[in-house]
Amino acid sequence: MRPFVYERPTSVSAAVAMASHAGAGHVPPTAADTQFIAGGTNLADYMKLGVGRPDRLLDLNTLAEPALRKIRTSDDAIRFGALVRMGEAADNDDVRRRCPLLADSLKLAASGQLRNMATLGGNVLQRTRCEYFRETSWPCNKREPGSGCAAMEGVNRQHAVLGTSDSCIATYHGDFAQALIALDATVDIEGRRGKRTLAFAKLHRLPGETPNIETDLAADEIITAIEVPLRPWSGRSRYLKIRDRESYAFALASAAVALDMEGQTVRSVRIGLGGVATVPWRAVAAEDALQGKVLDEAAAQKAADAAFADARPREHNAFKIPLGKRTLVRALLETRDMKV
Amino acid sequence: MNQAAPAPRENQGDPVVRIDARLKVTGQASYPADIATANVAYGALATSSIARGRVSALHLQDARAVPGVLDIVTYGDMDKTDTPKFGNTGASSIGPLHDKTIFHDGQIIALVVAETFEAAEEAAMLIRADYDDEQPSASFDSKGTSTEAAAGKNPMLKEDAKAGDFDAAWAAAAVKVDERYSTPTQHHNPIELFSTTAMWQGDQLTIHEPSQNVTGWKMELARQLKLDPANVRIISPYIGGAFGSKGPMTARTAIVAVAARRIGRPVRCVVSRMQAFGAQTYRAETRHRIRIGAGKDGRITAFGHEGWEVTSRPDPYVVGGTSATARMYNYGSVLTHVALVHADRNTPGYMRSPPETPYVYALENAMDEMAVALGMDPVEFRRVNEPVKEPIGGRPFSSRSLIKCYDQASEAFGWSKRDPEAGSMRDGDWLVGMGCATAIYPTAAAPCAARVRLTADGEVRVQCGSHEIGTGVRTVAGQMAAERLGVGMEKVSVEMGDSALPPAPVSGGSISTASVCSAVMMACDAVRAKLFAAAAGKDGPLAGSGNAKLDMADGKIVTETGKSAKLADVFKAMQVGAIEEYAEFAPKGSSPEALNKLYAGQPEFHGGESDKDSVKYAFGAEFVEVRINSRTREIRVPRIVGAFAAGRIMNTRTARSQLMGGMIWGIGQALHEATEIDRRAARYVNRDLQDYLVPVNADIKAVDVILVPEVDHEVNPAGVKGLGELGNVGTAAAVASAVYHATGKRIRDLPIRIEHLIV
Ligand SMILES: Cc1cc2nc3c(=O)[nH]c(=O)nc-3n(C[C@H](O)[C@H](O)[C@H](O)COP(=O)(O)OP(=O)(O)OC[C@H]3O[C@@H](n4cnc5c(N)ncnc54)[C@H](O)[C@@H]3O)c2cc1C
Ligand code: SF4
């Protein structure tokens, strides 16, 4: 590992000030010389591999603001501080009762040990596990812009079929983000230019020609909170994750579904898809296809076809298209049949 | 008794608790990299990022500039040593620092030594190499590989087994199966990382390294470093998983030793999980063509097994599992052939049941296909083809309890409830499938020495240079001594894992229990003989008991007629404080040089297919249930039952544990494990435990092990058949058969994954 300076700011504003300098607005946070570390389960791992190369780490765990560590539930929203650990949120009774999708997406992620360390802020910002990204001797446009993409013609079983570009096909592997994007979450951000609230759907950027720029964040911006509105669909919601083994594995395909039903008819539906796309993925076309329809096998199948209409497979990941569709169909029908 | 400690049946020993159980679960067992070492410096490897070509320049300035770096061992620095040799003790003939040629991805190009682990790692990452690289050949079907017949290239496969007129029988067969199967590259990934700690005292070299072969390594390291073997000591008291990966010594050991000599300090090098994929051995991918011809009555008349195995450019590593598959059933005629495909890869190495795992997978998957083609129950099909003699040499089996295993396992599993029609069983949204397969492993033994000391207070010390790789061999060796010398286990201590102890063979081929226990038994019997002579002698406490048979029990010498003498009294009569005996065991059929070869680290193996009078195998039958989601097709294994017969079971607890672990690994081989290779670059890409999948606890539900009683006096004096490598043979075929039964889809390439079942 490269040597680095480690510092422990005690407030959000202090951390922002320490991260701010003239260049901070121009490089993506993942390429900045000063970077934030929370649970460290993603960043420290990538530093060991030589993929993350900060000269200076600012530890967010010493920030004093109590709200950063709190889960607050009101009638119309759940608000998570950015330093809340995955495990704590997954096991929170209010969260599970009010919106099972949120709790499940966390519970089915990583392992108990990781969930105890990892924060929700760090979770949504976790970087891809593309094998070629993780090993520095391969060409990779995300790690080294312009160097090429080794995965395109390489081993790409775990890679994305949606939202890909000619520069990068790396999957966004997180689970929680699929719930957040489906549920119209927002993120609160604090930086040198002040505070802002961003739709979660705008946080991540498609790879396009610049897969190295992964989010809308500047290098001196900190996520302070994530807010999920509670709506009629929140209670009837579910996360289905399909993977090679029963636990401790990333999704090959997953579906985050929330349904508001009137009898057998869909009043409103929210769908996120994981394991198949380059960024957290909202399946808008599938939602549209279901709106006002009787939710049966055929309607679910139609919606799934719509969700993957633009999918682009590579050599080893073509199975993700039928798998993604079946995952969505199964999730829709299982969510419909939930007793709430 | 509980599930982990099955009640012993006939010819089975007590489920004695492992001698080192408490130490291991409390973290007190010191593995070789844990040994506190004063003034130690740390080593980190730099490895190649290409698979074929030459290093044209190595840039070391940045690495040398890292504070704390003491030395970098690289090209030129090993010139005074001999290159490694490929064989049972040496993993590969590639001497990575003797020659700038790159033979494989991840080949060692330098060893950095520094004051701290962190500095060594940082510096190793800063080493840059320029290469004259060439297009590598990754595997089967890659351009530029070379293929040769395997038989005779390696002692593992002397000749291709054959019998009768295969062509005629095949042509005439009423029902035929002719299919191709494959198994992927696999890496052992023991939880304990690979490591070497080297320290010199004058010209005496001590190596702490996890090893399955301390005597062999001592000799091989002495040869490479041109030292007197008496000056080399390998110490490896505990091993955190081996599975064959710590059997042959790799080039690293000598490199670390040279580094320690250069800086005049001990050096410890722990290989990272990622680097181990290139720097260690692995199970290479295999391909198979199986032809089975049978009559309508289900009797097999023709069996053909062709195998292809990948190896490195320079070394003819062969597993050649046709030796076992050709003797499995009562085939009328047999034709086998094994070919080696040389590619730009590291030399493969032994991995738990090296030949049987891939080859029996292919055979047993084909057997299930044939049962389907015949419309016969798969168990019945095997029963019909049960042999009296092995088909190649016409020799009898020393013992063979396969059908008993099938009977007991199928009963426990509830096989009779299976609806034979594929795709017919369902539980809600889940398709249910059931399959079975045969497990087989050759029973061998090798020469082994042991020293046993008994003191007047009944304390026993057993010494043997074998290795506790997690199998429980220290415990069963102790049990053997406790039993023969009539003392409790708490009185017994067992020392292993040190080349300064009496030599034992490599802990491979499931020979350890048989070889070690036979040697310990001999030494104990020599102790007994001395004690008995003294006890029954004219001044002894049992004087006058005539020719009555003596035995030892409860710390006493006892006679048939119920008389007894305390050990202390016998020792007193002998006027000695301790009796120590050194025994050298050589299995039946050993050559006159067998013991010399043991001391030279090149022990002969006897048994399996190599004996004149009979062939010797342990058998088992495994039954698996799978559940496959009808929509999303993920495959889960709610239960597995295996019944195994392996001669005398020394300890039902350790035996069950080995077999259970094997079956779990078998499930992983069926559904999870595979090293992915980038075919353009001949480089591995999933080099960590995040992407190299093995089952986790949640994947393993009910695992039921049945130990079928079996008595076999022919195999070795201890009557023991090895079972460490039996459990994971056949499992993958049982899973594949269950997947077929659930879905009607026959998957022939491992691992079986969602993508095979989804379209
Ligand atoms: C073996 C393994 C298996 C896993 N399996 C899963 C899985 O199945 N599903 C899943 O969803 N995840 C999985 N993960 C990923 C895991 O969830 C993430 O590593 C974790 O959530 C990251 O959180 P952290 O707090 O440790 O982030 P860190 O590693 O500390 O940070 C990650 C990134 O976020 C930035 N950052 C952190 N907090 C903030 C903030 N408040 N504001 C601005 N920037 C910030 C850091 O600078 C860094 O770039 C797995 C990880 C491992 C190692
Ligand atoms: S898919 Fe993206 S992350 Fe992976 S190698 Fe290509 S550019 Fe890099």
Residue-level pLDDT at A319: 98
- Tell me phi and psi for residue B448, to 5 degrees: -155, 145
> How close does chain A come to B50, measured CA to CA in Å?
9
Could you tell me the pLDDT band of residue B155, with boundaries at 50, 70 and 90? Answer: confident
Contacting residues of A for B635, CB less than 8 Å apart: none
The ligand minimizing its distance to the Cα of A179 is 1
Contacting residues of A for B759, CB less than 8 Å apart: 319, 322
Q: What is the pLDDT of residues A167-180, one digit of tens each?
A: 999 999 999 999 99
Phi/psi region, residue B609 (left: phi>0; alpha: psi -120 to 50; beta: rest), is: alpha
Do residues B187 and B276 lie in contact, with contact meaning Cβ atoms separated by under 8 Å?
Answer: yes
Closest residue (by CA) to atom 17 of ligand 1?
A: A123
Closest residue (by CA) to atom 34 of ligand 1?
A: A122
Do residues A186 and A280 lie in contact, with contact meaning Cβ atoms separated by under 8 Å?
Answer: no
Peptide bond into A9 cis (omega under 30): no
Distance CA B644, CA B628 (A): 27
Q: What is the pLDDT of residues B415-454, one digit of tens each?
A: 999 999 999 999 999 999 999 999 999 999 999 999 999 9
Determine, for residues A326 and B634 on separate chains, whether the beta-carbon distance falls below 8 Å: no
Q: What is the pLDDT of residues B657-694, one digit of tens each?
A: 999 999 999 999 999 999 999 999 999 999 999 999 99
The ligand minimizing its distance to the Cα of A173 is 1
Q: Using alpha carbons only, how large is chain A's radius of gyration in Å? A: 19
Find, in chain B, the residue whose alpha carbon is nearest to that of A251.
Answer: B634
Q: Using alpha carbons only, how large is chain B's radius of gyration in Å? A: 27
Residues ≥6 apart with Cβ < 8 Å to A171: A128, A129, A130, A158, A159, A160, A250, A275, A276, A277, A278
Residue-level pLDDT at B88: 87
**CATH number assigned to the domain with residue range B31-347, chosen from the 4 options 3.90.1170.50, 3.30.2010.10, 3.40.50.2000, 2.60.220.10:** 3.90.1170.50
The stretches in chain A having pLDDT less than 50 are none
Do residues A247 and A111 lie in contact, with contact meaning Cβ atoms separated by under 8 Å?
Answer: yes
Hey, which of A7, A53, A126, A131 would you mutate to test ligand 1's pocket, going by the most ligand atoms within 8 Å of its Cβ?
A126
> How close does chain A come to B274, measured CA to CA in Å?
10
Here the contacts of B157-161 (C-beta below 8 Å, separation 24 or greater) are B157/B318, B157/B319, B157/B320, B157/B322, B157/B323, B157/B338, B160/B322, B160/B336, B160/B337, B160/B338, B161/B322, B161/B323, B161/B326, B161/B327, B161/B334, B161/B336, B161/B392
Q: What is the DSSP letter of B280?
A: S
Residue A329 burial (C-beta neighbours within 10 Å; 0-12, 13-18, 19+): buried
Hey, which of A4, A16, A37, A190 would you mutate to test ligand 1's pocket, going by the most ligand atoms within 8 Å of its Cβ?
A37
At B4, list the tokens.
Answer: 């982990």
Side-chain half-sphere of B334: how many Cα atoms within 13 Å? Answer: 23
In B77-194, where does DSSP find H-type helix?
A: 117-126, 166-172
Find, in chain B, the residue whose alpha carbon is nearest to that of A317.
Answer: B755
In B456-549, where does DSSP find H-type helix?
A: 473-485, 512-536
Picking from A153, A323, A335, A337 by the largest number of B CB atoms within 10 A of its own CB, the best residue to mutate is: A323
Do residues B653 and B479 lie in contact, with contact meaning Cβ atoms separated by under 8 Å?
Answer: no
| Fold adopted by B445-607 | Aldehyde Oxidoreductase; domain 4 (3.30.365)
Determine, for residues A131 and B672 on separate chains, whether the beta-carbon distance falls below 8 Å: no
Distance, first Cα to last Cα, chain B: 48
Residue A141 alpha carbon, nearest atom of ligand 2: 7
Q: Is A40 in the pocket of ligand 1 (CB under 6 A)?
A: yes
User: How is chain B split into domains, by residue range?
Assistant: 31-347, 445-607
CA of A168 to the centre of ligand 1 (A): 21
Could you tell me the pTM of the whole model? 0.97
Residue-level pLDDT at A26: 79
Do residues B623 and B418 lie in contact, with contact meaning Cβ atoms separated by under 8 Å?
Answer: no
Q: In the sheet where A34-37 sits, what is the strand order?
A: A5-7, A56-59, A34-37
Contacting residues of B for A326, CB less than 8 Å apart: 631-633, 758
Tell me the pairing of strands A56-59 and A34-37. Answer: parallel
Distance, first Cα to last Cα, chain A: 50
> How close does chain B come to A192, measured CA to CA in Å?
34
Q: Is A261 in the pocket of ligand 2 (CB under 6 A)?
A: no
Other CB atoms within a 10 A radius of the CB of residue B278 amount to 24
Hey, which of A140, A153, A172, A210 would you mutate to test ligand 2's pocket, going by the most ligand atoms within 8 Å of its Cβ?
A140
Residue-level pLDDT at B3: 87
**Four-residue CA torsion sign, B139, B143, B144, B148:** positive
- Is a pLDDT exceeding 80 seen at residue B623? yes
Residue-level pLDDT at A24: 67
Residue B371 burial (C-beta neighbours within 10 Å; 0-12, 13-18, 19+): buried
Picking from A319, A320, A333, A337 by the largest number of B CB atoms within 10 A of its own CB, the best residue to mutate is: A319
Q: Which of B285, B356, B468, B725 is catalytic?
A: B725
Determine, for residues A131 and B691 on separate chains, whether the beta-carbon distance falls below 8 Å: yes
Grouping H, G, I as helix, E, B as strand and the rest as coil, residue B695 is coil
Which whole-number Å values give the CA distances from A64 to A16, A57, A80, B18, B142, in the listed order? 14, 17, 16, 50, 59
- What is chain A's length? 340
Residue A165 burial (C-beta neighbours within 10 Å; 0-12, 13-18, 19+): middle
Distance CA B99, CA A235 (A): 66
Over pLDDT 70: what percentage of chain B? 100
CA of B59 to the centre of ligand 2 (A): 28
- B448 closest CA partner among B501, B370, B382, B402: B501
Q: What is the pLDDT of residues B57-95, one digit of tens each?
A: 999 999 999 999 999 999 999 999 999 999 989 999 999
Our answer to whether residue B309 is catalytic in this structure is: no
Which whole-number Å values give the CA distances from B715 to B84, B473, B576, B615, in the listed order? 35, 18, 37, 9
Closest residue (by CA) to atom 8 of ligand 2?
A: A140
Contacting residues of A for B693, CB less than 8 Å apart: 244-245, 249
**CATH number assigned to the domain with residue range A237-335, chosen from the 4 options 3.30.465.10, 3.30.390.50, 3.30.390.30, 3.50.50.60:** 3.30.390.50
CA of A139 to the centre of ligand 1 (A): 24
Tell me the pairing of strands A5-7 and A56-59. Answer: parallel
Could you tell me the pLDDT band of residue B717, with boundaries at 50, 70 and 90? Answer: confident
Amino acid letter, A336: R
- Tell me phi and psi for residue B184, to 5 degrees: -90, 175
Q: What is the pLDDT of residues B518-529, one digit of tens each?
A: 999 999 999 999
Residues ≥6 apart with Cβ < 8 Å to B652: B5, B6, B7, B8, B12, B13, B14, B15, B707
Which residue in B274, B636, B680 is closest to A153 by CB distance? B680
Q: Is A106 in the pocket of ligand 2 (CB under 6 A)?
A: no
Phi/psi region, residue B24 (left: phi>0; alpha: psi -120 to 50; beta: rest), is: alpha
Determine, for residues A245 and B680 on separate chains, whether the beta-carbon distance falls below 8 Å: no
Which residue in B122, B274, B693 is closest to A245 by CB distance? B693
Distance CA A111, CA A87 (A): 9
Q: Is A168 in the pocket of ligand 2 (CB under 6 A)?
A: yes
Which whole-number Å values give the CA distances from B562 to B391, B545, B548, B556, B733, in the listed order? 51, 11, 10, 11, 54
Residues ≥6 apart with Cβ < 8 Å to B490: none
Do residues B736 and B703 lie in contact, with contact meaning Cβ atoms separated by under 8 Å?
Answer: no
Which whole-number Å values give the CA distances from A129 to A143, A161, A169, A173, B643, in the listed order? 12, 15, 11, 7, 41
Which residue in B676, B695, B758 is closest to A323 by CB distance? B758
Q: Is A170 in the pocket of ligand 2 (CB under 6 A)?
A: yes
Picking from A245, A317, A326 by the largest number of B CB atoms within 10 A of its own CB, the best residue to mutate is: A245
**Four-residue CA torsion sign, A156, A159, A160, A164:** negative
- Tell me phi and psi for residue B67, to 5 degrees: -60, 135
Grouping H, G, I as helix, E, B as strand and the rest as coil, residue B569 is helix
Q: What is the pLDDT of residues B267-302, one digit of tens each?
A: 999 999 999 999 999 999 999 999 999 999 999 999
Contacting residues of A for B121, CB less than 8 Å apart: 1
Strand partners, B583: B450
Amino acid letter, B414: G
Q: What is the pLDDT of residues B357-384, one digit of tens each?
A: 999 999 999 999 999 999 999 999 999 9
Residues B594-622: b if buried by 16+ CB within 10 A, e if exposed:
bbebbbebbbbbbbbbebeebbbbbbbbb
Residue-level pLDDT at B1: 61
Q: What is the DSSP letter of B62?
A: H
Other CB atoms within a 10 A radius of the CB of residue A81 amount to 23
- Is a pLDDT exceeding 90 seen at residue B195? yes
- Is a pLDDT exceeding 90 seen at residue B548? no
